[in-house]
């Protein structure tokens, strides 16, 4: 199984980052404003990305303000059955976010695209938590995974 793993240090307290990960208002500031999110185990969060992508994630674990875990309920795509986790720990005056997206069957093009996008989204989470400013870029153009490596040099 292939796993995406990123670690980011954020100059914000755990509780603020936890809220950004578990509330509709928070997620709308760094990932997508087209979302339905509740901090409730068993709830199915929904995330719309552009016009073609829609993710459904069941909340499987919450431990305020330390960890969040979701399971992807999508059918017939590379995210089907994958798990996402955000673990928050203190590092001096900073908070360390350890992010994993696990359960991919292979390191496919979709895996590579997801890896790139998660790195980008985690930087937007960092920006939002550190500045309080909306870091979401809903105007971005969705790029198919194949376009990431087809460009002519």
147/66: higher pLDDT: 66
d(CA 101, CA 6): 9
| 102 closest CA partner among 131, 79, 77, 125 | 79
pLDDT tens across 42-55, in order?
A: 999 999 987 777 89
Residue 148 within a domain: no
Q: pLDDT value at position 151?
A: 44
Q: What is the DSSP string of 43-79?
A: -EEEEEETTTEEEEEEEEEEETTTEEEEEE--SSSTT
Range of the domain at 96: 2-143
Q: Does 152 map to a domain? A: no
> 8: helix, coil or strand?
strand
**pLDDT mean over 20-32:** 96
Tell me if 54 sits within 8 A of 75, measured CB to CB.
no
pLDDT for the residue 137: 59
| Residues facing 61 on adjacent strands | 69
By the 8 A CB rule, do 29 and 135 touch?
yes
Q: What angle do CA 70, 2, 97 make, to 5 degrees?
A: 50
**Could you tell me which of 28, 6, 8 has the C-alpha nearest to residue 19?**
28
Evaluate whether residue 21 is within a structural domain: yes
CATH number reported for the structural domain that contains residue 95 in this entry: 3.30.530.20
Model pTM? Answer: 0.86
Provide the domain count of the chain. 1
pLDDT, tens only, 60-80: 999 999 999 999 998 878 889
| DSSP per-residue letters across 110-128 | HHHHHHHHHHHHHHHHHHH
The closest alpha carbon to 8, from 100, 83, 80, belongs to 100
Task: Give the tens place of pLDDT for each residue, 87-99.
Answer: 999 999 999 999 9
Share of the chain above pLDDT 90, in %: 73
Please determine, for residue 31, whether its predicted confidence score (pLDDT) is greater than 80: yes
């Amino acid at each position: 199984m292939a796993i995406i793993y990123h670690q980011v240090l954020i100059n914000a307290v755990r509780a603020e980052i936890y809220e950004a990960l578990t509330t509709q208002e928070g997620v709308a500031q760094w990932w997508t404003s087209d979302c339905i999110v509740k901090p409730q185990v068993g709830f199915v969060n929904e995330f719309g990305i552009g016009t073609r992508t829609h993710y459904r994630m069941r909340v499987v674990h919450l431990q305020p303000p330390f960890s969040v875990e979701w399971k992807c309920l999508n059918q017939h795509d590379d995210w089907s059955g994958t798990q996402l986790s955000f673990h928050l720990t203190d590092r001096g005056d900073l908070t360390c976010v350890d992010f994993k997206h696990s359960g991919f069957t292979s390191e496919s093009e979709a895996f590579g695209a997801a890896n790139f996008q998660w790195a980008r989204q985690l930087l937007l989470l960092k920006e939002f938590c550190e500045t309080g400013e909306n870091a979401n870029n809903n105007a971005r153009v969705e790029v198919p995974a194949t376009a990431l490596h087809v460009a002519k040099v």
